[in-house]
Structure 1
Amino acid sequence: MRIVVVGGSGHIGTFLVPRLVRAGHEVVNISRGTRAAYADAPEWEQVRQVTADRERQDADGVFGDTVAALRPDAVVDLVCFTPESAAALVERLRGETGHLLHCGTVWRYGVSHRAPIREGEGTPPFGEYGVQKDAIARMLKEETANGGLPTTTLHPGHIVGPGWHPIGPLGNLDPEVWRTLSAGRTLRIPGLGAEHMHHVHADDVAQGFERAIERPEAARGEDFHVVAPSSMNVRGLAAAAASWFGQEAHLESVSWEEFRAASTGDHADVSWEHLSRSQVCSIEKARTLLGYAPAYEPDAAILESVRWLIEHDRLGVERPLAV
């Protein structure tokens, strides 16, 4: 098939585009052309690159024309963030493309009331990002149910991979967390540390999209969670991270008010965004209908990212990795 990937140079596309080429597909990547993929792969030499500023073309009402002109059999949209942008693309591709696959997010749900969360059974989202992603997923599902464009939405957790900083044990991107754990110093955590985060390796997300393309009859009109086989809470991830440096995790429970007072920048706000949701998502539907089989547990995926950052002088730690 000819598959157009929108935003294929990012986290997911870095792994998805080579997967699709290896599977024998003709792949076209649409991007702004401002950066290369996070990891090199020989398959990129076979990929047609199309430069387009989606935000600008959406404003001009022509982005759908750019995609449709490539005559794709399937479109994987990895960088759509508003219902208006999604609706415009659907309107243009309806009747011309066999399958539109959209990248959603587990933040389409709000705070967790039960675990695991099955598709569509979470609480209402909060925050602009989650609210808009939920609206897109609902619109796409309705589009297909009403006999329109065949669509599928895949909802990743917190995406991890080599080349960028992972969401860490405190649910933020603060590099001081890794330095503290590597030195065996006490890490102050908000609350009891029982809040969960559901990570996923970018290649496992890519696998989910590839499986959905391979099984269109099972995927069309459906939503799927694409996350790791398990989730980890603050305590568990901190303990695992400390062990990578040959240390034990020493944790001190503090109130959110104390945590915020001692935090710099927006780290406390980012922690709240992740930990207040405390999400654990089911992958049973993706396993059953798509054959989704994630290769990475959360700690293994995060360790790969941390190792890459250290080896490329992107993260300073007190002790070298012991694993």
Structure 2
Amino acid sequence: MDVGAKRILVTGGAGFLGSFLCERLVESGHEVLCLDNYFTGRRAKIAHLLDRPNFEVMRHDVCFPTHVEVDEIYNLACPASPVHYQHDPVQTTKTSVLGAINMLGLAKRTGAKLLHASTSEVYGDPAVHPQPEDYWGNVNPIGPRSCYDEGKRCAETLVFDYRRQHGMPVKVMRIFNTYGPRMNLDDGRVVSNFVVAALRGEPLQIHGGGKQTRSFCFVDDLIDGMIALMATPPDICGPINLGNPSEITVRSLAETVMRLTGGRSELRDTPALADDPRQRRPDIARAQKLLGWEPRVPLEQGLARTIEYFRRVLGNA
């Protein structure tokens, strides 16, 4: 192993974000262990890394302990789109909570630094806009999205309690909507839904009128922020919002996708989804100050690269 290289565990490493993170860490010369149970992750996303001598894959569920020796842990494992996390809500909560317990236990045993991937969903349907990290959120604890929202909130509690109780070096990032190549065709998130529908000539489903807002961060920018947070001194633990503060309505996003794809699909209004946030935009002042980070890829540029990826996937399907 190169001098300065670390042994790094990435849970959920065959997922959308995880595969880009593994790729970046491998290219930087680190020894990377990708752990995934392939519920939403896909081996194809990491296929180009399999012959690299500093990359290893383990099929494993974070709900069960794992015994490895590592210097850093990126805990990304959890289905992140409503379609997938509502498929088995009990398992989703287990993945967030038991996964955090097991990775924190591993970090405590090995002395590894741990970065936990949380979510903007901890803010729920926010009454404060944009959302700063000191906002406690407005979350329905018994709704259809609660398995994910409350599971992630509980995981954050565990991370900070391990820090307080054991003095562990931990980090928490709250990820806002992220998009890019390698999203699953059936991902269920709005960017992939719209792009795939437009390319197939199918109606784009606009839930609840489309006036709700989102802020979309391209995957390359998100990975930059994630690695920058892991590299910070022990006293910087977060939580830190990572996302793009540029806000757009869901209907405007659909219209932009149609224009960029050259599609002629119908924009079809459908009923609102339960507990769907009306607005979502990160306050990234903390990330700017502590990480020197902010997103660089404009939405249309990122969408063009995402559309190009899905054209290839659909052309080979």
TM-score of the two chains, using structure 1 as the length reference: 0.74
- Looking at structure 2, the residues matched to 222 and 40 of structure 1 have their Cα atoms a distance apart, in angstroms, of 33
Question: What's 2:161 paired with?
Answer: 142
Question: What's 1:52 paired with?
Answer: 59
Query: What amino acid does structure 2 have at the position aligned with 1:160?
Result: Y
CA distance 1:235–1:142, change in 2 (3 Å) = same
Question: What's 1:4 paired with?
Answer: 9
- Looking at structure 2, the residues matched to 315 and 273 of structure 1 have their Cα atoms a distance apart, in angstroms, of 36
Question: What's 2:312 paired with?
Answer: 311
1:36 aligns to 2:43 (yes or no): yes
1:240 aligns to 2:256 (yes or no): yes
Q: Specify every segment of 5 or more residues in structure 1 that has no aligned partner in the other structure, as ranges.
A: 261-267, 317-323
Contact 1:3 1:27 in 2 (8 A): yes
Deviation at 1:283, TM superposition (A): 1.7
Q: Specify every segment of 5 or more residues in structure 2 that has no aligned partner in the other structure, as ranges.
A: 1-5, 79-94, 141-145
- Looking at structure 2, the residues matched to 315 and 199 of structure 1 have their Cα atoms a distance apart, in angstroms, of 27
Deviation at 1:121, TM superposition (A): 0.6
Question: What's 1:82 paired with?
Answer: 96
TM-score of the two chains, using structure 2 as the length reference: 0.76
Query: What amino acid does structure 1 have at the position aligned with 2:149?
Result: G
Deviation at 1:311, TM superposition (A): 2.9
Query: What amino acid does structure 2 have at the position aligned with 1:205?
Result: L
Which of the residues 193, 199, 211 maps onto 1:173?
A: 193
CA distance 1:193–1:89, change in 2 (3 Å) = closer
Contact 2:198 2:264 in 1 (8 A): no
Question: What's 1:114 paired with?
Answer: 128
Question: What's 1:265 paired with?
Answer: none
Deviation at 1:192, TM superposition (A): 4.9
Instruction: Work out which of the two has the higher radius of gyration on C-alpha atoms and give 1 or 2.
Output: 1
1:208 aligns to 2:230 (yes or no): no
Deviates more, 1:125-134 or 1:45-54: 45-54
Deviation at 1:72, TM superposition (A): 1.1
CA distance 1:98–1:92, change in 2 (3 Å) = closer
CA distance 1:48–1:157, change in 2 (3 Å) = same
Contact 1:239 1:249 in 2 (8 A): no
Which of the residues 9, 18, 22 maps onto 1:17?
A: 22
CA distance 1:202–1:46, change in 2 (3 Å) = farther
Greater relative contact order, per chain length (Cα 8 Å cut-off, separation 6+)? 1
CA distance 1:179–1:315, change in 2 (3 Å) = farther
Identity %: 21
- Looking at structure 1, the residues matched to 291 and 103 of structure 2 have their Cα atoms a distance apart, in angstroms, of 25
- Looking at structure 2, the residues matched to 305 and 176 of structure 1 have their Cα atoms a distance apart, in angstroms, of 10
